[in-house]
Structure 1
Amino acid sequence: MKSIVQAVEITASRPSLSDNTADLDRLKRSVRQATGHALATCPLPDMAGIAGSFRSAGFQGAAVVRETGRGMEIIRFFPRMPQQLPGMALDLGTTHLEACLVDLWSGQEIARVSREHSQGESGADILTRIHYAERNAGLVQLQRATVSDINAMAADLAGRAGMDPGNIMALGVAGNTAMTHFLLGLSPYHMCREPYIPVANTIDIFPARDLGLKISPGAPIWVAPNVGSYFGGDLLAGIVACDLDLEDQPCMLVDVGTNAEVVLGGRDWLLACAGAAGPALEGGVARMGMRAGPGAIDKLTIDPDSKSLDYSTIGGEPALGICGSGLIDLAAQMYLAGMLDTRGRFRPESMQDRFVADEHNPSFVVVQSEQGGHGQPVMVRQSDINALIRSKAAMYAVLSTLVQQVGLSFKDLGRINVAGAFGRHINPQNAVVLGMLPDLSLDVYRPVSNTSLKGAVLAITDSGCRQRIVDTARRITYMEMNVNQEFMHRFSGARFIPHTDGSLFPSVSRL
């Protein structure tokens, strides 16, 4: 395992009348000897600081270097070998950022933080931000928002680790194509216009100072490559994080965030697509919807006989709202308890005093106001359930269309990896009841948490994983669902609980 930067021990001879080699040349010579590379370089902005540190340390200590392909680039010099070599990994999400600090030598996590993406002030979705970027200094403002967020997270991580953020020696970033463009100040104009071409899919490593990042100025920034406008580096990182690219048997990765992204395949081939199944599951549609955070209802059961409802919240906090996994549990449990019909419509006669009548948009009371964390009831409207049904139909249609495209059935899959907070909290059995996931043995489903972040960690700690991500980008095939008639047909059939074809869900009791 070779990380993106290394620290090599340096013990150089002191200058003398018989050896008047310049300080930086002396250091370069020592680096060449220590690494076996024929060439060692030092960027101009770092020359004075590194040479000064080398002399102050008595010409011995530890040089932090990066292999460039031509040789070794010297990034920092420390008077002694550091106990850890800190690096930062970032999942650059559309609405949410998550980052961790790791020891680049061991890969061990030191600290982790998350925050809402400040770009949200300029638009909740990608398309709105793309149009915002086209106006006046919109692109500059979007870039500044992200850089400011990253700097705040770096400072937070460093504070938790008891260190200075200037000692973070590398950053790995995995995000979708639009977020990558915003971060780098690249125009997304052509991404949303036929033939949908990004400015760049492959980003060369560059130093932190180029973006104004407040970590070590020469720290290398690695950004995951993209495949195209609708297939980003976050998914490529996720593929490697769950080893989908190494599987002998066809497997699947399902990552539900702002969009639903799905990859099918293994060692020999990979087929992918993305669709808008995510918003209803991320708090973007339901009035009481929220991300999977403290106070969000994430698990829920309803007794089919007594109709009594039991739930849990993340962190055990009083209920503030309901996240995607909780919404799935609610709809599935309401269906099994006879509170929803096959179209997802409320059945008031079975909902007792939890039904709130409204001619245009009736509601179901999940949590009464006296138990709610904000003194208000947590309610789910009929329109919220309708949005969930559309989302689950899109999800199932994507999965079934992908599998059919390569002549497989769901039973041919060895594993379905379910990523993100969605995967961490989801109850697969309720997702099957709802008709969102195929009716398979539950041990086929594996929650794999934040694979985008995990892939970014692997990229900065393991050169082999970095290369796998690059190789995956070259061999993956992207399938466009918006023009696929088979997808639209399957979507229509899936807009019922669990499906219009009951034989696809033999384990689900039909009402």
Structure 2
Amino acid sequence: MSENSNIFKVHFLPNDTHVEVNDNCTVLDAAHKANIYINSICGGDGICGKCKVILSTGTIDAPPTKLLSGEETEKNYILACEASVTSDLQILVPKETRLEGKKILLDQNEQHYMTWKAILEQARFKHDALVKKICLKLQPPTMDDSVADHERLYQAIMMDQNVELNVMQTGYRILKKLPEVLRENDWTVTVTLGHRGKVLEIIDVQPGDTSKINFGVAIDVGTTTVVACLLDLQTSKVVDSEAVYNTQMKYGEDYIQRIIYAIQNDALEEMQRSIVTDINKLISTLVKRNDIELEYITSVVCAGNTAMHHFLLGLDPERIRKEPYIPSANFIPPIRAIQLGIDINSRGLLYTLPSVAAYVGADITSGAAAIRLDREELPTLLIDIGTNGEVVLGNKEWMVCCSASAGPAFEGSGIKHGMRAAKGAIEIMHITKEFEVSYSTIGNVPPRGICGSGLLDCIAEMLRSGIIDRSGKFQKGIKTDKLREKDDEYEFVLVNRDETAIDNDIVISQADIANLIRSKGAIYAAVSLLIESMGLTIGDVHCVYMAGGFGNYLNVRNAITIGMLPDMPASRIKFVGNTSLTGAKMALLSEDAFETVQNIASQMTYFDLMGNQKYMEEFMSANFLPHTNLDEFPSVQEELAGNNT
């Protein structure tokens, strides 16, 4: 113990990191201070049970909990968020609680050097970067041509860019250095121009021709991951991509938990600093890897949900989670990136794409632009299943949207052995009528848990094989020892301990199934409500676009079988990857695309499902497999009838 009896040392393994904390601190607080990630979906409220760590030495004060099994208690497992430090400690963070080995799955297309010119043309966007460089050869003044330096520059820009004088502006710093720069290289200069709404700003003027050296970064600011893509703004080529886990996760994996943490701990600056640090690390990695100077990065475009934009910009997010759920801003004007501490060119611009409402953010408006929902002739659905479930229905004439209160169950939250799509996650699963389980994992390594696609397969396969009924209840009469009662709850053993990487059986419990059914039910209810609100039927929907990483290995047939997706031909359901990032790249490279995202955000009509009685009725009906009304799922009705014969 330290000389000060109120200060204790906590030693974290396997990181081999030491930190000193006060005696009223929890182990989770100590981990935050040590900058060590500990899985904590509920943000430290003691309700998720994911922050399990092993107390190697020392003593703690913790209330009793049902979130730890008797076997885990015997092995000195504790909940980090519930354990108060009362002595010097040594804490082992087990594999299932840390991020070790969890490589983020980037879109493979991002790994290739490619031009986006063809993609922009296919989407009918003109390549015209938000921040661009143009080389100008000005005529020097004479006695017969005595136009001032600044006005001379404006005239050249107007002729080159076909713009009016009244849309341009110049800062004081540029005015002060302009005469010297113009004459330094015989009146040949490179002008950096940035779109700021209706204004075209002269961001910089450099001597000579540097127009071919201009880069920008498109960023998907996700709740779980932050993905950055470096683009050559002159050629429209993707140079490189990188991703990290959002370090805000240590404050809670759900952004509502992070808002609560920020308000209760007066930690908004801390949250803002956290996400900016992530972005700076990504940009630094990209420029070093590609031998590019930071000053050559002239623009950043960010797309994220409404809460993440508030954290990034340091805006007060408190009212997002309280009625009537009002953001500080949905449409945010461009600002100097340096004002937020983002390390690029000191006069470079940060653009944040627009949101629609508290729970439909720029990741959705960006995604809608990426698939050109605004050009669809027939009603089309865009569904993004992630930390939340957002749904957009529309075409070129109209768009309606909502956010389903699905909860992140398909990202592993609230599921005993749920995890993200990472190395060791079961991503595909089959169960025979004899209850034999086969599976494949990401990385083809021993399983550590089950990710979203595997969980979806699991529910569908258990329904087909008769392990559960349509209400999701275990059929206790089935003849297998894999169904067992443990800690006053039934669970089904999917993988025996000797096959796993976590020294424990991987199971799915009755509570897990109920959680997953609620999540899929919320998504389907949101889809149903939007379709019905427009006087349409499922048959009127031309296509369903599935966005986000969840769709990478999603079995469409299984998604329909459990009633998460509407019963329609699989050919009409398309996976489109990270459309949030795709839209951000398009906006970075094209003013047309940027304006399209703005227009889409203005056009969308938001349906607030909070307290919506019709939605609650739809949700209750969708809390069966696939639905209380089997007539909505004729193919599943036929499938289940065939299984019973």
TM-score (norm 1): 0.91
Q: Is the 8 A contact 2:135 2:211 kept in 1?
A: no
Q: Within 5 Å, give how 1:216-295 maps onto structure 2.
A: 216-295=345-424
The 3 A distance-change label for structure 1 pair 56 and 315 is: farther
Q: Which residue identity lines up with residue 316 of structure 1 in the other structure?
A: N
1:204-223 alignment to 2 at 5 Å? Answer: 204-223=333-352
Which structure is higher in RCO with an 8 Å CA cutoff and minimum separation 6?
1
1:92 paired with 2:227, answer: no
Partner of 1:10: 136
Unaligned runs of 5+ in 1: none
- In structure 1, distance between residues paired with 2:334 and 2:246: 23
Aligned equivalents of 2:137, 2:443: Cα separation in 1: 51
Kindly indicate whether the alpha-carbon contact (under 8 Å) linking 1:155 and 1:164 is maintained by their aligned counterparts in 2.
no
Counterpart check, 1:320 vs 2:487:
no
What amino acid does structure 2 have at the position aligned with 1:153? L
How far apart are residue 313 of structure 1 and its match? Answer: 2.2
Which of residues 530, 541, 547 in structure 2 aligns to 1:402?
Answer: 530
Which stretch of structure 1 is more off in the superposition, 90-99 or 71-80? 71-80
Match of 1:103 in 2: 232
Kept after mapping to 1: 8 A contact 2:181/2:189: no
TM-score, normalised via structure 2 length:
0.73
Q: Tell me if structure 2 keeps the 8 A contact 1:54–1:79.
A: no
Q: What's the counterpart of residue 497 of structure 1?
A: 625
Equivalent position to 1:158, from 287, 301, 311 = 287
- Shift, 1:117, TM fit: 1.4
Asked if the contact 2:400/2:606 (under 8 Å) is kept, the reply is: yes
Residue equivalent to 2:274: 145
Counterpart position of 1:483: 611
Separation (CA, whole Å) in 1 of partners of 2:579 and 2:178? 36
Deviations 1:353-402 (A, max 9, x none): 43343152333333333332344443322211110011111111111121
Distance 1:110 1:442, change over 3 A: same
Match of 2:561 among 433, 437, 440: 433
Query: Structure 2: 5+ residue runs without aligned partners?
Result: 1-125
Alpha-carbon shift at residue 491 of structure 1 (Å): 1.5
1:58 deviates by 6.3
Could you report, residue by residue, the CA deviation over 1:270-292 in whole angstroms, capped at 9, with x for unpaired residues? 11110221411112111221222
SS of alignment partner, residue 312 of structure 1: strand
Aligned equivalents of 2:140, 2:216: Cα separation in 1: 32
Work out which of the residue numbers 581, 587, 601 in structure 2 matches 1:459. Answer: 587
Distance 1:459 1:104 in 2: 11
Which residue of structure 2 aligns with residue 120 of structure 1?
249
Between the aligned partners of 1:262 and 1:330, the Cα distance in structure 2 is: 24
* Secondary structure of 1:146's aligned partner: helix
Which stretch has the larger CA shift, 485-494 or 357-366? 357-366
Which AA in structure 2 matches 1:287? Answer: K
Tell me the amino acid that sits aligned with residue 384 of structure 1. D
1:180 aligned onto 2:306: no
Return the offset for 1:477: 0.9
Once residues 481 and 229 of structure 2 are traced to their aligned partners in structure 1, the CA distance between those partners, rounded to angstroms, is 46
Equivalent-residue separation in structure 1 for 2:187 and 2:346 (angstroms): 22
Quote the Cα distance in structure 2 between the aligned partners of 1:86 and 1:56.
25
Matched, 1:366 2:494: yes
Match of 1:130 among 243, 253, 259: 259
Q: Which has the larger radius of gyration?
A: 2
CA distance in 1, matches of 2:362, 2:350: 14
1:189 corresponds to which residue?
318
Amino acid at match of 1:381: S
In the alignment, the residues of structure 1 paired with residue 145 and residue 283 of structure 2 have an alpha-carbon distance, to the nearest angstrom, of 42
Q: For the residues of structure 1 that align with 2:541 and 2:495, how far apart are their CA atoms? A: 39
RMSD over aligned Cα, in angstroms?
2.8
Map of 1:75-86 to 2, 5 A cutoff? 75=204, 77=206, 79-81=208-210, 83=212, 85-86=214-215
Q: Which residue of 431, 435, 439 corresponds with 1:302?
A: 431
Sort the Cα spacing of 1:119 and 1:377 in 2 relative to 1 into closer, same or farther, 3 A: same
User: Which residue identity lines up with residue 188 of structure 1 in the other structure?
Assistant: P
**Residue 24 of structure 1: how far off its partner (Å):** 7.5
State the Cα deviation string for residues 16-70 of structure 1 (Å, max 9, x = none): 9999999888766654554354656443456778888777666545332224434
Q: Is the 8 A contact 1:251 1:415 kept in 2?
A: yes
Q: State the shift of 1:267 in Å.
A: 0.8
Cα gap change, 1:378 to 1:17, in 2 (>3 Å): farther
- Partner Cα distance (2:176, 2:239) in 1: 31
Does the 8 Å CA contact 2:189/2:205 hold for their aligned counterparts?
A: no
- C-alpha displacement at 1:261, in angstroms? 0.5
CA contact 1:130–1:188 (8 Å) conserved in 2 = yes
CA distance in 2, matches of 1:357, 1:129: 35
Deviates more, 1:331-340 or 1:38-47: 38-47
Deviation at 1:240, TM superposition (A): 0.9
The structure-2 alpha-carbon separation of the partners of 1:12 and 1:429, relative to structure 1 and needing over 3 Å to count, comes to same
User: AA paired with 2:313?
Assistant: L
SS of aligned partner of 2:635: coil
Deviates most, 410-419 or 332-341: 332-341
Q: Provide the C-alpha distance between the structure 1 equivalents of 2:595 and 2:522, rounded to a whole number of angstroms.
A: 33
Given the alignment of the two structures, is residue 167 of structure 1 paired with residue 296 of structure 2, yes or no?
yes
- Whichever residue aligns with residue 587 of structure 2, its letter is A
Contact 1:38/1:71 (<8 A) preserved: no
Pairing 1:416–2:544 present:
yes
Q: Which residue type is aligned with residue 390 of structure 1? A: R
Give 1:482 deviation, angstroms: 2.1
Pairing 1:376-387 to 2, within 5 Å after superposition: 376-387=504-515
State the 1:470 CA deviation: 1.2
Aligned residue pair count: 510
Give the percent of matched residue pairs that are identical in Structure 1 and Structure 2.
35
Alignment match, 2:574 = 446
